[in-house]
Amino acid sequence: MSKTILIVDDSATLRASVNFVLTDAGYEVIQAKDGQEGLEKLEECKRSERKMNMIISDINMPVMDGITFIKDVKKGDFRFVPILILTTESENAKKMEGKAAGASGWLVKPFKPEQLLWVVKKFVR
Amino acid sequence: MSRKSSLFDIFTEEAQEIGVSLERDLLDLENNMGDKHLINNIFRSVHTLKGSSGMVGFSVLTSFAHDLENVLSRVRSEELKATAGLITMLLEVTDLIKKLVSTDPENAEDEFGPDIRRLTETIKKYKGYAPESTENKEESGLDEDSFLEKYFHIVLKFKPDIFVTGTDPLMLLKELDSIGEIIKVKCNPENIPNIENIRFEKLYLSWELVIKTFEPKSSIDNIFIFVQENNTVIVEDVSKKYFDGVDIRYADKKLGEILEEEGYLTDSDLKEVEDSQKKFGEILVEQKSLDGNVVSKVLKSQQKSRDFQGSHTIRVDTEKLDKLVNLVGEMVIGIARINQLVSESYLKDRDLNDASEHLDRISRDVQEQVMKARMVPIEGTFRRFQRVVRDTARELDKKINLFMTGSDTELDKTLIEQIDAPLKHLIRNAVDHGIGSPEDRITSGKPVEGSIWLRAYQQEGKIIIEVEDDGKGIDKRLILKKAREKGLYKGGDLSEKEIMNYIFLPGFTTAKSVTEISGRGVGLDVVRKNIENLRGSIELYSEPERGTLFRIMLPLTLAIIEGMQVSVGKEIITVPLFSIVEAVRSEENIVRTIEDKGELIEYRGEYIPLIRLYEAFRFKTDVIDPKQSLILILDGHNRKIALMVDDVIGQQQVVIKSLEKNYKQVPGISGATVLGDGRISLILDVYGLEKISFSHLEKI
């Protein structure tokens, strides 16, 4: 069965890139445009008893930012799912904040497809 | 989403949206300087743009957005104050960004190089000396600290008689499961004896497992605290083995090298990674250089017809929609025809009747939904006007607030496109001529800041758009004077509406001087013409010193109208229902003939001009006595007109077929349609008819 990865980012371009790269590598990708929608997608997965193998999340998003999102995930049924945060180099403080909230790693935007795949493969086994 | 769509298309669309929201937020910020929420939104827009453009390798834009982000981050941290100057600069930057995203990144430098450099310089002034941070430049990290999750390798070998002590190893495993995720488990069955030797009270199994958890090692030790003696329980932190030092910079190295360097991977891990290396190899060969530009190209070639998940909108060619609208229109007519045949049929089959009526209802619903697919909120247009008002007002040194209501009102896409220019004209007019200079306003006892209201709403099956200002207003006497000068006014009493009507005539202006802003040779006559081409109308209300209100009325859609079918001799004419005020039949002679004015009828205390339709179109009919005819009272150009026809036949929705496309334009006729019974009916153009009927009598 293919592994499922949730990508949470307000940028359609970023979501599409991640989607293209990961679906091509055989992963199932679910997209959400902010933390709120991310939680909703997780809730849907829970209802349909679908497994989530990894979450990739942006930090700076409208409605619900990445930090709040991660904190909420860490409270729920998917708390063991590894979370990778997407940052930009200017967001060093955010990176640390994300780490404290429970993220397992980070990737700096913009990234190359093989970088993404490399990290994802480390997380999803 | 069409197959042609690519990552870059998605980016362009996103970037354009960002441009729009940036502009909106900046304009809002100007009115609420220091609004944290808005500043945050603006920051995020730029931030997203930077990330997205980076992903598609649009480096010119990325570095531009990066500089901008630095300035905004200073504004956000209140190091820098949001001033009108800064906002003007940012708006200029937004304009450039909008232009940039619609260019090919490769030409961006050539086309906008000077602009970019100039603005980058300006940005840098605001940026202050924010040094480029060189530290923490690593592209990604999975270092030890970044892992709160720990991985433990646990070996469990219990004594065979563990059950005797009342300990159930299953409970221990379950407990372990509750503090984390067991990602690997191996049960060793080697010690199971032959079946004749198995004793049910003995445990022969041992386990080896890996758990991923947030808990410290002590939590695991606690679980096995009662079995540690006499049993073999080995808990080892293997987090390093799982994730240590996965620096993404390794991605550029050969995997083999990394594995050698690290040298800790187990056989199975190695195999797994070797597999992935193979895939990497393929990717690397395919792409050779690996920047974002290449990525987008590769992705273009990759995307066979991949659905873009998570998107709730698809883009459809308007031409396709138009065709659909037309076909559905035909279908509705066809079904109406079947419906009519069924109801007239001698069969009088009730079931057939019901089924046909049901079909009729559904087809109308389908039609409505299809029409809705063409509807777009007017918000985008309104937002642009915010900018128009701001820029024009600044140019003229006026202070003007624009208030918008009903921006969620939906209009047919074609209408939105066509209404843009006339509306812009009205708004520029309001800013330039309507609202006076701050000094004038103070003298008139008005607040220094002028107000312009832009409203959109639906009323009685029409879309109404209003532009109102609280400015100088238009003096009726001035209009009359001007009309007299131009030889347009020939005396007599005129209603207020009629006087105001003069302003829509070509070359008619009361403005004392032609200014930069609105004196561009396009007058209100063009505005009116544009609106009438959309089968709409425009009204003007004004009072000196109080303000001016332009009200535009538009049909909901351009393709279909609700019409009343009337007969004149053998002809059937469809009169748009929205033009009809009332239908009257009178036994008395209500027609009066007045020299120079033609025939008039008395209608609710006022005299309104009468048009005999058979005369206007030279149709043959036997009904020429107004007492035996039906008289329709119609909304004409800012006045009512009466239309004499033989009789009314019915009322139905009709799909407008252009005469121009199939024949040629005919004055007084806006198109033709096929009725339910298959007959052809011409659709009346009320304004056009008014024009041809009265042009010899007066100028309107």
Q: What are the pLDDT digits (tens) for A85-120? A: 888 766 667 777 887 788 888 788 878 787 788 788
- Quote ipTM for the complex: 0.70
Sign of CA dihedral B629, B630, B634, B640: positive
- Check residue B2 and give its pLDDT: 35
Residue B531 lies in a domain: yes
- Check residue B127 and give its pLDDT: 63
End residue of a domain, out of B210, B242, B274: B242
Partner A contacted by B44 (CB < 8 A): yes
Give residue B197's domain range: 144-242
> Residues B63, B167: one domain?
no
Residue B295 lies in a domain: no
> Residues B185, B122: one domain?
no
Q: By mean pLDDT, which of B187-196, B472-481, B507-516 is the weakest?
A: B507-516
Q: B residues 177-236 near A, CB within 8 Å?
A: 180-181, 183, 212-214
Residue B137 lies in a domain: no
Contact residues on chain B for A105, CB-CB shorter than 8 A = 140-142, 146-147, 243, 246
Partner A contacted by B146 (CB < 8 A): yes
- Check residue B146 and give its pLDDT: 38
User: Domain of B93: which CATH number?
Assistant: 1.20.120.160
B136 with A107: Cβ contact below 8 A: no
Residue that wins the pLDDT comparison between B350 and B522: B350
> Residues B48, B118: one domain?
yes
What's the number of domains chain B is made of?
5
CA distance A39 to A45: 10
Residue from the list A12, A82, A106 with its beta carbon closest to the beta carbon of B140: A106
- Check residue B168 and give its pLDDT: 78
Give the closest-approach CA distance of B88 to chain A in angstroms: 25
- Check residue B257 and give its pLDDT: 43
> Residues B218, B340: one domain?
no
* Domains annotated on chain A, with CATH: 4-123 (3.40.50.2300)
What average pLDDT does the segment B82-86 reach? 79
- Check residue B577 and give its pLDDT: 86
Best residue in A67, A112, A115 for a mutation probing chain B (most B CBs within 10 Å): A112
Q: B residues 68-97 near A, CB within 8 Å?
A: 69-70, 73
CA distance B269 to B264: 9
Give the closest-approach CA distance of B604 to chain A in angstroms: 58
End residue of a domain, out of B527, B555, B583: B555
Residue from the list A20, A106, A114 with its beta carbon closest to the beta carbon of B251: A114
> Residues B430, B411: one domain?
yes
Identify the closest residue of chain A to B6 by CA–CA distance.
A16
CA distance A96 to B560: 60
Residue A8 pLDDT class (50, 70, 90 cuts): very high
Taking a C-beta distance cutoff of 8 angstroms, is the pair A30, A7 a contact? yes
Contact residues on chain B for A79, CB-CB shorter than 8 A = 214
| pLDDT above 80 (res B102) | no
Contact residues on chain B for A30, CB-CB shorter than 8 A = 309-310
Q: What is each CA distance from B670 to B125, B196, B566, B583, B655, in whole angstroms?
A: 59, 100, 16, 21, 12
Best residue in A8, A20, A88 for a mutation probing chain B (most B CBs within 10 Å): A20
Contact residues on chain A for B70, CB-CB shorter than 8 A = 90
Residue B149 lies in a domain: yes
Give the closest-approach CA distance of A2 to chain B in angstroms: 15
A20 with B54: Cβ contact below 8 A: no
Average predicted confidence (pLDDT) for chain B? 76
Residue B581 lies in a domain: yes
Question: CB-based contacts of A48: which residues, under 8 Å, 6+ apart?
Answer: none
| pLDDT above 60 (res B516) | no
CA distance B364 to B550: 34
Contact residues on chain A for B180, CB-CB shorter than 8 A = 80
Residue from the list B248, B295, B306 with its beta carbon closest to the beta carbon of A107: B248
Question: CB-based contacts of B7: which residues, under 8 Å, 6+ apart?
Answer: A13, A16, A17, A20, B55, B56, B295, B296, B299, B300, B303
| pLDDT above 80 (res A68) | yes
User: Domain of B205: which CATH number?
Assistant: 3.30.70.1110
R_g over Cα of chain B: 38
Contact residues on chain A for B310, CB-CB shorter than 8 A = 15, 19, 30-33
> Residues B345, B405: one domain?
no
**Which residues of B are known to be catalytic?**
47, 69, 429
> Residues B546, B460: one domain?
yes
| pLDDT above 50 (res B23) | yes
What average pLDDT does the segment B580-588 reach? 85
Q: By mean pLDDT, which of A43-57, B182-196, B619-633 is the weakest?
A: B182-196
| pLDDT above 50 (res B457) | yes
| pLDDT above 60 (res B539) | yes
- Check residue B695 and give its pLDDT: 67
B55 with A29: Cβ contact below 8 A: no
Least Cα distance to B592 among B580, B575, B606, B571 occurs for B606
> Residues B399, B501: one domain?
yes
Taking a C-beta distance cutoff of 8 angstroms, is the pair B237, B217 a contact? yes
Partner A contacted by B682 (CB < 8 A): no
End residue of a domain, out of B497, B524, B555: B555
Give the closest-approach CA distance of B456 to chain A in angstroms: 28
- Check residue B696 and give its pLDDT: 59
Least Cα distance to B363 among B327, B396, B391 occurs for B327
| pLDDT above 90 (res A121) | no
Residue B254 pLDDT class (50, 70, 90 cuts): very low
> Residues B415, B546: one domain?
yes
Residue B108 pLDDT class (50, 70, 90 cuts): confident
Residue from the list B14, B44, B142 with its beta carbon closest to the beta carbon of A105: B142
Residue B253 pLDDT class (50, 70, 90 cuts): very low
Q: By mean pLDDT, which of A70-84, B353-367, B646-660 is the weakest?
A: B646-660
B133 with A89: Cβ contact below 8 A: yes
Task: Choose from A28-32, B124-128, B576-580, B650-654 the range with maximum mean pLDDT.
Answer: A28-32
Residue from the list A88, A92, A104 with its beta carbon closest to the beta carbon of B51: A88
Contact residues on chain B for A102, CB-CB shorter than 8 A = 148, 214
Is the bond preceding residue B667 a cis peptide, omega within 30 degrees?
A: no
Contact residues on chain B for A29, CB-CB shorter than 8 A = 309
Kindly state the tokens that stand for B265.
């991977």
Residue B260 lies in a domain: no
Give the closest-approach CA distance of A69 to chain B in angstroms: 17
Quick one: what percent of chain B has pLDDT higher than 90?
6
Partner A contacted by B460 (CB < 8 A): no
Q: For B633-660, what is each residue's pLDDT tens digit? A: 998 776 789 999 999 988 887 878 777 7
Q: For B374-427, what is each residue's pLDDT tens digit? A: 888 888 888 888 888 888 888 888 888 889 998 888 888 888 888 888 898 889
> Residues B384, B519: one domain?
yes
> Residues B14, B79: one domain?
yes
> Residues B81, B188: one domain?
no
Residue B113 lies in a domain: yes
B55 with A14: Cβ contact below 8 A: yes
User: Domain of B506: which CATH number?
Assistant: 3.30.565.10
Q: By mean pLDDT, which of A86-95, B75-84, B140-149 is the weakest?
A: B140-149
- Check residue B68 and give its pLDDT: 84
Give the closest-approach CA distance of B699 to chain A in angstroms: 57
Give the closest-approach CA distance of B170 to chain A in angstroms: 22
Q: From the CB of residue B292, how many other CB atoms can be counted at a distance below 10 Å?
A: 22
Q: B residues 147-176 near A, CB within 8 Å?
A: 147-149
A61 with B44: Cβ contact below 8 A: yes
| pLDDT above 50 (res A9) | yes
| pLDDT above 60 (res B255) | no
Coil/strand/helix, residue B352: helix
Give the closest-approach CA distance of A63 to chain B in angstroms: 11
| pLDDT above 60 (res B513) | no
Contact residues on chain A for B11, CB-CB shorter than 8 A = 12-13
CA distance A66 to B39: 19
Kindly state the tokens that stand for B556.
């909901």
- Check residue B528 and give its pLDDT: 85
Q: Describe the crossing of helices B59-76 and B84-101 by its angle, rounded to 10 degrees.
A: 160
CA angle, corner B290, sides to B62 and A122, nearest 5?
100
Contact residues on chain A for B280, CB-CB shorter than 8 A = 114, 117-118
What average pLDDT does the segment B526-538 reach? 83
What average pLDDT does the segment B537-548 reach? 85
Taking a C-beta distance cutoff of 8 angstroms, is the pair B40, A65 a contact? no
